[in-house]
Amino acid sequence: MTKKSKAAPKKASAPEKKASGKATGAAKADAAHLSTTNNALVDHAYLSESEFGTVAETLQRNLATTISLYLKFKKYHWDIRGRFFRDLHLAYDEFIEEIFPGIDEQAERLVALGGSPIAAPSDIERFSIVKVPTETVRDARTQVADLVADLTRVGRGYRDDSQTVDDANDPATADLYNGYAATIDKIRWMLQAIMDDDRMN
């Protein structure tokens, strides 16, 4: 009776599984390109890859800029001193109320088109065209002049980006930007009017 050599039983090879919720590729602002759990329904809707890239770049920059603008108004709201304290302390918060909804709207627009907003503080600083001051500025004229300069750039940016995304086949985002541009123009006008007060000199 010959002894049969016992071979070690073969393990059935399990199908390769992706770790739940983990991206298998490099992280991008484009969620549609991440192989993550429950990502099958994410796409660019009616936009081509190239069109999406153009629109996503503007949304990410404008999201970061809006967050920075919110923080800058808050910083000046806390720091203001002098005879214009009450007027500007209250006005800054009123302007914030008009700006704040744009943060969520722009982030959700990016998600709706298959993107994923970048929102870490270092990324906000990198993408934003508005810089939040690290020093204390108490003087009313200095604050208002600085904000008017920022709002001039932001308003121009929204108008330029409206045209850019419209050319990229995304009139819905262009409409958003047109609305934000009008809001920014109104706030800029109001701050400029405050600077006309001789007592600010």
74-84 burial, b at 16+ Cβ within 10 Å, e below that, comes to ebbbebbeeeb
Helix (H, G, I), strand (E, B) or coil at 190: helix
pTM of the model: 0.81
Is residue 39 predicted with pLDDT exceeding 90? no
Percent of the chain scoring above 70 in pLDDT: 81
Dump pLDDT digits (tens) for 146-188.
999 999 999 999 999 999 999 999 999 999 999 999 999 999 9
pLDDT-derived band of residue 32, with 50, 70 and 90 as boundaries?
low
CA distance 89 to 101: 20
Task: Report pLDDT for 29.
Answer: 53
For residue 30, list its beta bridge partners.
Answer: 115
Q: Are 129 and 157 in contact (CB under 8 A)?
A: yes
